[in-house]
Amino acid sequence: MKSILLSTVAVAVTATLALADGHSVVRMGTEGAYPPYNFINDAGEIDGFERELGDELCLRAELTCEWVKNDWDSIIPNLVSSNYDTIIAGMSITDERDEVIDFTQNYVPPASSAFVAASADADLTGGVIAAQTATIQAGYIAEGNAALIEFATPEETVAAVRNGEADAVFADKDYLVPLVEASGGELMFVGEDVGLGGGVGMGLRESDGELKGKFDAAITSMKEDGTLNALLVKWFGEETAQY
């Protein structure tokens, strides 16, 4: 009996040691509603630029990764509460967010945000502009003179322009390009592109320096051997900014 007890304790201790060895499984949190960064494909799986990038980064950093979907509104609270370990959801690096979480170096260069409207003479300075809640674009519009109308999902911001609720939508250009192309002239880019934020990076807990180091190294190696550029071109087209 005693030996059984002892061996149980031994097993429990070794199991504990195995667990204590940092992140055995890294959970990657994403939104799944922001093509081409991340979206749900026909088979119901998470797909897109960040899926491919994230899998490659995990491979290079020798981590076992698992994908988790989470609502954009609660994506930061759930990270700091350790419900997953990274945010890889097209999140731009900004000072406000950097106070709450940490970012890796960017894996998408600072991209331009653009206005899309249903007519070329849309009023961008005094009109109504749609943007997704809690994005850098929403923050930018809020500082200007135009009236800001916020939506929970990117899809709704574009729908607001189609149905006339907003004069224009302001979002990442990479997200808007495929929509404008597919709209057959109904939607068009208007005004000047605006450069916002410090590029897109992976969000991590501030206390998770070790994991951040691993991902930073993996991103650096992808930048150096050109695989990251190849991925950027594959998902965002030839004209996108590269490293």
Partner 1 sequence: MFSYCSDPDTLERLWWLSCYLTTGVHFSFYLSFLKVIGILAVTAPVALAFGFAGAMSARSQILPVSWLGKAYIAIVRGVPDIAFFLFFVIALDQGFEWLRHQALCPDWTDPIRQGNDFLVCPQAKLPLGTAPQAVHQAYAFALAVMTFALVFGAFVANVIFGAMRAVPKAQLETAEAYGMSPRQTFWRILVPQMWVYALPGLSNLWQVLIKATPLLFLLGIEDVVYWARELGGTKTARFTAYPHGDWRMWYFLALLVFYLFMTWGSEKVLSRIMARLTRGQATTGGEAQRKGAPA
Q: Return the residues of window 141-160 that contact partner 1 according to CB under 8 A.
A: 153, 155, 158-159
Q: How far is the CB of 201 from partner 1 (least distance, A)?
A: 17
d(CA 216, CA 208): 12
Q: Return the residues of window 28-87 that contact partner 1 according to CB under 8 A.
A: 32-33, 35-36, 39-45, 47-48, 66, 68-71, 73-74, 77-78, 80-83
Q: How far is the CB of 77 from partner 1 (least distance, A)?
A: 6
Which is nearest to 239 in space by CA: 181, 165, 161, 198? 181
Which is nearest to 90 in space by CA: 173, 214, 206, 208? 173
SS3 state at 73:
coil
Q: How far is the CB of 2 from partner 1 (least distance, A)?
A: 24
What are the Cα distances from residue 190, in Å, to 65, 157, 171, 187? 40, 16, 12, 9
Q: Return the residues of window 106-125 that contact partner 1 according to CB under 8 A.
A: none
Q: How far is the CB of 94 from partner 1 (least distance, A)?
A: 16
Pattern 161-200, partner 1, x by CB under 8 A: -x---------------xx-xx------------------
Which is nearest to 38 in space by CA: 10, 70, 11, 12? 70
- Of the two residues 1 and 19, which places its CB atom closer to partner 1 in the complex? 19
Q: Judged by CB under 8 A, which of 14, 24, 112, 119 binds partner 1? A: 24
DSSP state string for 180-230: HHHTTTSSEEEEEEEE-TT-B--EE-TT-HHHHHHHHHHHHHHHHTTHHHH
- Angle of helix 49-60 relative to helix 227-236, nearest 10 degrees, comes to 170
- Of the two residues 146 and 187, which places its CB atom closer to partner 1 in the complex? 187
- Of the two residues 82 and 126, which places its CB atom closer to partner 1 in the complex? 82
Q: Which residue type occupies 123?
A: D
d(CA 67, CA 88): 10
User: Judged by CB under 8 A, does residue 101 bind partner 1?
Assistant: yes
Q: Judged by CB under 8 A, which of 97, 173, 205, 212 binds partner 1? A: 205
Could you tell me if 170 and 131 are in contact, meaning their C-beta atoms sit under 8 angstroms apart? Answer: yes
Binding site for partner 1 (CB under 8 A): 16, 19-20, 23-25, 27, 32-33, 35-36, 39-45, 47-48, 66, 68-71, 73-74, 77-78, 80-83, 100-101, 153, 155, 158-159, 162, 178-179, 181-182, 205-208
